[in-house]
Structure 1
Amino acid sequence: MYRIGGENVDELPLAIPDEVPPRADFDAEPRTGNIPLTVQFRDKSLGKIDSWQWDFGDKTTSTDRHPVHVYQNTGSYNVRLVVAGQKGSDTKEKLSYITVTGTGNRYLLTLMPGWNFFTPPKSLSQGSDTAAIFASVQTDGHSLFEFSNQSSGWRRVSRDSVLLPITGYWIYSRKQEEIILWLDPVSGGKKTVEPGWNAIGSPGTGPVRAKDAMKSLEDKWTYLVGYDKGLQRYEEVIIRKGTGAHSDERLLKSGQGYWLYATGTGDIYAS
């Protein structure tokens, strides 16, 4: 209450900003750009605040009020800020707030509902080469799997694992997704195969005849089996020097994984 003069009394509501409960808010600049992307975050919260807890969406955090963060991988990131003070705490989360794009040649990989047997057709650009590029895919709890060859067997692929070129991977998707891969403009890459079954991929960004894709293996391969992600079933086997439906004149599809049976060790090169 504020008193003016002798008997006249005026009651004025006095709002003291520091005494209101914390209300979290923030902004950032820039919000889009190529890797590595340096972003300045600014706290715009209201109330008396004693602590700030930032989550940048890429497994890194900060307790600074106005942090600067560098994003090293491509993707779309949710950002969350939790503020706290004597009057309580509050949380603000902004979905897909930061978008980081890659460098190199852009390649679009389409995932279909169900299991997808895919490959990076060439080496991926640094910073865009880990399984984190699939973070937005709704996998319904399924892991990303790799089967390089019979000696190494099956392996679960972690978010930070580098995806290798011309290597077959399995991923489950609840719905159709378009994933952008950023291909290294210089290094094509290669895949070493061993005797027995190997999970490989079609080399290159366009269709290629099976016998041409396997040319570097000479006679050290026997079978190729692709997986139709649309129909969710295996395709007819391709046989070296085969004919008809099994002909090695058949085209391998770019971005698709294949089971290869090799009779010796050799390298497959991206085209």
Structure 2
Amino acid sequence: ENLPDEGIFLWNFGDGSFSNKSNPSHTYSKSGRFEVMLSHSSMGGGNIRNKPSSDLIVINEAPEADFVAQAQNFDGQLPSVHFENRTVGGRSYQWDFGDGVTSDVAHPDHIFRRKGTYKVELVVTNASGCVDRKEREVVVAHDYNLLAPEAFSPNGDGTNDLFIPEALRDLDLRFKLAIYDRSNGELVYETTDATKPWTGRRMNRGELCKPDTYVWVVEFPDALHLSDTPFQGEVTLVR
């Protein structure tokens, strides 16, 4: 039955909480079954009516989101942060690492490529559709871009004659390195072999490329936490 907006209202939400608003909202702090009752009286003091809800309100138990971040730096791999999901009652997970990258993996690994303080948020949903969030800060002390040199000089003197991001020599991951002429976007070299760095020549054959700044891009097709966003940077060829 519809009631007028005028009058005196008293809502009993069944958990010890009350409201005298005509159309209140209420948040239950715990799960359970609650009978909601409404008492309404007209402004004249008559027509007092008690109207219990026709159905009990069932509040499902919410998940409890929680996680810890564990830094991992070891030889032969990328320096990454492992996120251990300690959520209770979760069914699906959505991570936001604070650097534009997201994940729906339960226990993801992530590489922060630039130093800074990142707010990492985990949003958890359980089987009933209830949601909980947890946010923690991760502090990254140093930039990381595969330990790539910023310049090299392929002049045959035996010093700094070759270019390759140094981390690729030690990684146990399949990769593809591509190098482009920044001025026109032309591909000048590519390789999937860390023992074949760029010599400064077009496709490592013929004459040396002109002294200039070139763009390099590295992709890791097999690493799920790296496949979406390639590493990239610039290297200057000098003589």
**TM-score tier after normalising by the smaller chain length:** 0.3 to 0.5
Give the strand-richer structure, 1 or 2: 1
Higher Rg of the two aligned structures: 2
RCO (CA 8 Å, sep 6+): is it higher in 1 or 2? Answer: 1
TM-score when normalising by structure 1: 0.31
